A = this chain, B = another copy of it.
Amino acid sequence: MPMVSKVNLARKFGLFRESWKPKIVGELNGSYVKVAKLKGEFVWHHHKKEDELFLVTKGRLTIRLRGRPDIHLRRGEFVIIPKGVEHKPVAEEEVQLVLMEPKTTVNTGNVRNVRTTQAEWI
């Protein structure tokens, strides 16, 4: 039988410090659940085929969008960025968040640069 075990988000956030390095904490239906810490500005990018969910659990996150108002998220708020929509996360202070996205998703989407990273399980 497949393993079934609970995940405590606070405990997972306690296992790492670095920003912009999402960690995998669960998988379902071909997608990963990830946790990440963000601080500073990320790169403008989009995901060609994947919708992406950002759920903030600590701090405040701004998601900039081309040609429309910024999205401001606090703890307990989420947004889904549909595939193809260019976006740029910005965190003035450290943000902790949960991500949901297909396993195929690259963090920097259509861009490859120093921020491009492959998520690992924690």
Using a CB–CB distance below 8 Å, which chain A residues touch chain B? Answer: 1-2, 4-10, 26-31, 33, 50-53, 57, 65, 67-68, 71-73, 76-82, 84-85, 100-102
Contacts and interface: CB of A to CB of B under 8 A. Distances in A.
A17 to B, nearest CB: 19
A29 B82 CA distance: 9
Contact of A51 (B1, B28, B51): B28
A42 B2 CA distance: 22
A98 to B, nearest CB: 8
Contacts of A33: 53, 78, 80
A13 B23 CA distance: 28
Contact of A4 (B1, B2, B81): B81
A100 B102 CA distance: 13
Given A4-B81, A28-B100, A33-B78, 5 more contacts: A6-B78, A9-B76, A28-B51, A28-B53, A29-B30
